[in-house]
Every structure is written in structure tokens, then in C-alpha cells.
């Protein structure tokens, strides 16, 4: 029954599998009598069927609309009455539901969530109104925000073939066509014990969590094999792309660029080097981009970098810069190209590398003080196909990254033809 049990420097996480295929990760933390209970499903927006964009996110909303045993709102009301917290989220690669409650209520959370995994009841009269809620969410968060519109267009221009180019919430015209049968088909395909990961962090032992999980989730019959994700892959890019969006709502222009980059699963060594590179380039006030673009050349007032390594398929490495009032975006882009070329050629000094790794590891260690962060780290990694060791060995891998590793990763993955650049402009600049 046990898959693995390893002892890292931080909290010890156990990893088991129930007879029906459900994976169970337990992260004991006995500092406070509280538990975080999460269920992760290996499906996200990139698994939406063609023409049904937004169905993963829509189903996340509908999962709160009741089961055959518990009417809509009862689960949430119980969590609230117990003084707990709850939420859910959908990403490109996974969907997760979580509650944070006093430890004596863990069995109650498992019973409700297991019921929701197997017995969702979707009455037609709840589907239409909830679809309207999602439509309004898209209007507010994307259609009325120029920065969100640019981000959506930029991502679509980078991922021309892979479904990562489709927004998580979906395209408006396709959301409008989603219905009950679409949601049920998606639910029946992906919401199975074989496709789920239970993560429990907090004041509980492995033995207690497994007993409760067997008494609740373990009663759900196995469906068979885990669903296979069928995704078209992105071809090797050959041309850099530029997307420009001007709007009268824009008060502060900025430049954003994303590169097609490997995920942790594709290339762990490159992924670790890109983690460090994002810190070297993008650290506030001290990163290479800020030092060169803002401090040395006076062209920017802010800059940054990020990397999204936890993904099933090829993912994004991003940089951004906010120009000074007298700098236009084209000039800022040329300076950005020059700065990235300099850094790729010369790389960090040993002192810069050591500082960046220290900051990165310190942030990681501080985050382990949070049960929710611990649960999310393990859940997200397993949901994209990673292993417990990918979480537990991360610090050692980061410590092993060299300056040559950083230079090699930047040279391989941050070439101009792998990028899409976005300009957010004022209406007057258009």
C-alpha cells in the first residue's frame, strides 16, 4: 500500500495509495491543532475539450452546488460553522479544493469531499445561473482590464498550438455555450479516485489520516485506469512575436515578455537553473534587470522576472519592465534585449549567485511555516506528474546550480525567437 516515505530536512511527508487508486500525502505539523485538507484532480483548463474552453473552471463552480446527499451550500455552511476556511482553484494543469479546520473536524471534511467526488447532483436550474456568474467574472477580471487582455493575447501568441494558449476561464463565446451535459461529461471523466490526490497537512499522523481516508474516500469504487491527457504539443518557435494593446484606461505603460521554456518534468537541471536565473534577474531593487535598466541607464522604474516550472508541458519564463515617463516601450525593449544578452554572455559572479540562492532558499524555508503552502507544494507537484522527491530535494538541487548552469539555460531557452513581447500602451501612444 505504501508508495514511499522519505525524511527530508523539513517536515516528513508520507505518500500512500488506497486500493481504489487515490493517492494520499500526509505532512504532519503538530505546532497547532489545525489541519489543511486538500483534494487535487489531475485536470485543468489545458484538458478542456476543443470548443469547450472554460469547462474545468465552470465545473469547479458547480462542485459547490450540492450532491444527492447534501444540498447546495450545506458543505460551505458546515465549514463556516466550524470556524474553518475553504476555497477552490483551477489552473492549466489541475483543479484543487481545500478546507482548513480544527483537527477534530478532519473526518467531517473528508466525508463531505468524498461525497462530492462521487455524487455531484447538477440540477438544470443551477447550471444556467452559475454560468452567468462565470460570464460576469470574465467581464470583470479580463474584458474590463487592459492588462488582463494583454496577458491573454500574449499567452495565446506564445502557445499557438498547445492549449496553454487558451485562458483558464475560457473564451467568452464558448463559456456562453457550456451546459449541464458538458459539465457532467467532464466530471465523469476526471473526478475519479485514480485521478485524485488527497493532501493533509497539520496536526495529524499518517496512520490517522489513512484510517479516515479509507473510511471515506476508500468507499468510492475504482473506475479503472487514470484518464489520459491528450494535448497537442507546441512546435519549436521560429519567430519572435510582438503584441500591442492600447487603451484609454491605461495610466502606466509597461513591457512584458514570455519565453517558451521547459517544465521541471522535461528538464530538471534546466528548470533549477531557470529558478535561480529568475531570482538573479528579477529580484526587486537588486536584480540584474533593475540594476541595469533602472539604476544604471535610467530607463525603467521597475522590473522583474518569473518562472513557472511546475507544469505538465513546456511552460513560461517571463520578464517585465515599467518605463520612466520619458522612455518609450520600443527603446525599453532594445535595452532589455541588450541587458539579457549581457547577462547570458557574462553570467552572474559567484557572489551574486550565492546571494540569489540564499534568498531563494530562505523564501522557500519561510513558506514551509504555512500548512497551506506545504500542501500546495506537494499537491501541485504530484498533480503535474512529479514526485515527492521533487519537493523534498529542491533545496539541494538549487544549492548545486552553478553560474555555468545559469548561462547555459539562458542561452538555450531565452533566445529571441522563443519569445512573445507585449506592450501595454496609453491610448495617446497608439
Catalytic residue numbers, as ranges: 60
Q: Where are the beta strands (DSSP E) in 53-126?
A: 85-90, 95-102
Counting beta carbons within 10 angstroms of the beta carbon of residue 140, is it exposed (0 to 12), middle (13 to 18) or buried (19 or more)? exposed
Left (φ > 0), alpha (ψ -120 to 50) or beta: where does 373 sit? alpha
Q: 35, 103 in Cβ contact below 8 A?
A: yes
Distance CA 272, CA 281 (A): 14
326 phi and psi angles, rounded to 5 deg: -95, 5
Q: 318, 281 in Cβ contact below 8 A?
A: no
Distance CA 191, CA 127 (A): 18
Distance CA 5, CA 361 (A): 23
C-alpha dist (Å) from residue 52 to 15, 45, 58:
34, 10, 10
Amino acid at each position: 500500500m505504501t508508495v514511499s516515505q522519505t525524511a527530508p530536512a523539513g517536515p516528513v511527508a508520507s505518500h500512500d495509495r488506497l486500493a481504489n487508486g487515490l493517492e494520499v500525502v500526509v505532512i504532519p505539523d503538530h505546532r497547532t491543532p489545525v489541519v489543511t485538507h486538500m483534494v487535487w484532480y489531475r485536470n485543468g483548463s489545458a484538458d478542456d475539450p476543443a470548443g469547450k474552453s472554460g469547462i474545468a473552471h465552470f465545473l469547479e463552480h458547480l462542485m459547490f452546488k450540492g450532491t444527492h446527499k447534501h444540498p447546495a451550500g450545506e458543505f460551505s455552511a458546515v465549514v463556516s460553522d466550524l470556524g474553518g476556511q475553504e476555497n477552490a482553484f483551477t489552473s492549466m494543469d489541475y483543479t484543487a479544493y481545500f478546507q482548513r479546520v480544527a483537527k477534530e473536524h478532519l473526518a467531517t471534511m473528508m466525508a463531505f469531499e468524498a461525497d462530492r467526488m462521487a455524487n455531484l447532483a447538477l440540477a438544470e436550474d443551477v447550471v444556467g445561473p452559475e454560468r452567468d456568474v462565470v460570464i460576469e467574472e470574465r467581464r470583470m477580471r479580463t474584458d474590463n482590464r487592459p492588462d488582463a487582455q494583454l496577458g491573454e493575447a500574449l499567452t495565446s501568441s506564445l502557445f499557438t498550438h498547445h492549449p496553454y494558449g487558451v485562458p483558464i476561464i475560457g473564451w467568452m463565446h464558448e463559456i456562453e455555450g457550456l451546459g449541464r451535459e458538458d459539465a457532467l461529461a467532464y466530471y465523469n471523466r476526471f473526478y475519479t479516485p485514480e485521478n485524485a490526490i488527497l493532501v493533509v497537512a497539520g496536526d495529524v499522523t499518517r496512520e490517522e489520516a489513512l484510517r479516515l481516508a479509507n473510511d471515506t474516500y476508500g468507499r468510492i469504487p475504482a473506475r479503472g485506469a487514470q484518464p489520459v491527457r491528450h494535448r497537442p504539443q507546441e512546435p519549436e518557435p521560429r519567430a519572435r512575436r510582438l503584441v500591442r494593446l492600447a487603451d484609454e484606461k491605461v495610466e502606466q505603460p509597461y513591457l512584458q515578455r514570455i519565453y517558451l521554456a521547459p517544465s521541471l518534468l522535461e528538464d530538471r537541471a534546466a528548470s533549477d537553473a531557470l529558478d535561480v536565473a529568475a531570482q538573479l534577474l528579477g529580484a526587486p531593487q537588486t536584480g540584474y534587470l533593475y540594476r541595469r535598466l533602472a539604476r544604471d541607464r535610467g530607463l525603467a522604474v521597475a522590473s522583474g522576472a518569473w518562472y513557472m516550472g511546475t507544469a505538465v508541458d513546456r511552460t513560461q519564463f517571463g520578464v517585465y519592465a515599467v518605463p520612466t515617463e520619458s522612455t518609450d516601450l520600443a527603446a525599453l525593449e532594445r535595452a532589455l534585449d541588450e541587458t539579457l544578452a549581457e547577462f547570458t554572455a557574462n553570467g552572474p559572479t559567484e557572489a551574486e549567485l550565492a546571494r540569489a540562492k540564499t534568498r531563494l532558499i530562505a523564501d522557500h524555508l519561510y513558506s514551509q511555516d504555512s500548512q497551506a503552502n506545504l500542501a500546495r507544494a506537494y499537491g501541485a507537484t504530484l498533480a503535474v506528474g512529479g514526485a515527492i522527491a521533487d519537493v523534498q530535494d529542491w533545496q539541494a538541487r538549487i544549492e548545486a546550480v552553478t553560474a555555468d548552469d545559469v548561462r547555459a539555460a539562458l542561452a538555450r531557452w531565452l533566445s529571441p525567437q522563443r519569445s512573445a513581447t507585449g506592450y501595454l500602451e496609453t491610448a495617446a501612444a497608439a
